[in-house]
Amino acid sequence: MAKVLSGAGLRGQVAGKTALSTVGKSGSGLTYRGYDVKELAEHCEFEEVAYLILKGKLPNGAELQDYKARLKSMRGLPQALKDVLERIPASAHPMDVLRTGCSMLGNLETETDFAQQQDVTDRLLATMPSMICYWYRFSHDGVRIDVETDNDSIGGHFLQMLHGKAPRELHEKVMHVSLILYAEHEFNASTFTARVCASTLSDMHSCITGAIGSLRGPLHGGANEAAMAMIENFTSPEHAEQEMMGMLERKEKIMGFGHAIYSESDPRNEIIKGWSEKLAQDVGDTVLYPVSVRCEEVMWREKKLFCNADFFHASAYNFMGIPTPLFTPIFVMSRLTGWAAHVMEQRADNRIIRPSAEYTGEELRPVPPIAERA
Ligand SMILES: CC(=O)SCCNC(=O)CCNC(=O)[C@H](O)C(C)(C)COP(=O)(O)OP(=O)(O)OC[C@H]1O[C@@H](n2cnc3c(N)ncnc32)[C@H](O)[C@@H]1OP(=O)(O)O
Ligand SMILES: O=C([O-])CC(=O)C(=O)O
């Protein structure tokens, strides 16, 4: 059954056109340029999907090889950007670091013509993992890492920089899946931010910087971190159930559940849940995965609320040894493709986005002289 889409938050209003994805068109499905995300996650590498979203077609073997080699060659950070990253304290939120890093790159390598948009996007795709890992390792471990590893995938490169060693095949595969699942999602809040910015004919770095700010919040991308913060406190499924019931009674929002568009399930959940289970077996987990499953059961039983893409990402990333504050930055490394493609789409058929407001303030009145004001 389709969700009733009306009310506040522009819900259900068509705010523009896109050829990039469909969300919940048949109640629960997700497609990128006509391909089901389930098939893409099963058969593709993230770079294939990035190519599809940004350039309009799935690459053939030679195109994929060239694209990966090109992205790999663009990973280096300018010294001025490294200097800025080194000045950001370890206590900063990594999403704020990426927001600053993206903005700084815009000062150093400004997009001066829309003809550069694909190159600017490739450069951002190649450098986001470098930025976040350079800052993280410098501020936490005091090391200046080499951001040009020999790993040829974005997810593998990220893990290699983070952990200082080549990632295991299983982990690299999960990173491909995760980045594919997060890549694109129609007019969600961060993408809409990017499109509004693009509609003023602003530059790509400004659009992406704004989108990072919107993704950061716990009602959007920040939910994967918030879900982790919750489940790591639960010591058993029974404990999880007890705590969840209390939260529901107190009418608290439970992060990682519910969705603005999907009505019965988020198609990304069963995919990442399956990988989380594999990772749980791999690390011999007996707590976090069963706790997560119990949370899912309680929320469905009590509220008919289902896990969105974020919930099982929390345990999956945790099993791969990724620190919780880096969860949402991984979302950025992926969603960058969707944001940039939407910016390009907006530019190709633009009218400034400028809705109207329903005024609820005072009627017209005279300005009283200052001596007469209360
Ligand atoms: C990748 C992503 O960005 S996915 C989204 C990630 N965000 C989260 O996980 C945050 C938690 N979830 C939420 O806050 C919401 O479900 C959102 C923001 C995703 C969608 O918001 P909306 O479209 O306004 O939700 P919706 O209209 O379905 O809410 C219906 C009711 O369910 C409640 N509800 C929805 N989600 C939750 C939740 N996670 N926990 C508790 N109650 C919830 C709402 O408060 C609302 O109750 P009300 O009618 O008494 O006010
Ligand atoms: O579509 C939304 O509102 C949020 C979401 O799931 C996403 O951006 O991936």
DSSP-assigned beta bridge partners for residue 31? 22, 36
259 CA from centroid of ligand 1 (Å): 6
Can you give the pLDDT at residue 139? Answer: 98
| Domains of the chain listed by start with CATH number | 21-217+324-348 (1.10.580.10), 223-319 (1.10.230.10)
- Report whether pLDDT(1) > 70: no
119 is catalytic: no
CA distance 237 to 145: 40
- Report whether pLDDT(28) > 80: no
253 CA from centroid of ligand 1 (Å): 7
* Residue position matching structure tokens 């499905």: 29
Q: Supply the ipTM of this predicted assembly.
A: 0.98
Minimum-distance ligand 1 atom for the alpha carbon of 188: 3
Predicted structure pTM score: 0.97
How many percent of the chain have pLDDT more than 70? Answer: 99
Length of the chain measured in residues: 374
In this prediction, residue 362 has a pLDDT band, given cuts at 50, 70 and 90, of very high
Tell me which residues have their CB closer than 6 angstroms to ligand 2.
23, 185, 188, 260-261, 308-309
The amino acid present at 217, given as its one-letter code, is G
Please list the alpha-helical segments (H only) found in the chain.
37-43, 46-55, 61-73, 79-87, 94-108, 117-141, 154-163, 169-182, 189-198, 204-215, 223-231, 237-249, 267-283, 288-303, 311-319, 327-348
CA distance 161 to 246: 40
Which position among 185, 220, 313, 342 bears the catalytic label? Answer: 220
Q: What is the mean pLDDT of residues 168-196?
A: 98
259 is catalytic: yes
Q: What is the pLDDT of residues 37-85, one digit of tens each?
A: 999 999 999 999 999 999 999 999 999 999 999 999 999 999 999 999 9
Tell me which H or E stretch contains 17.
Answer: none
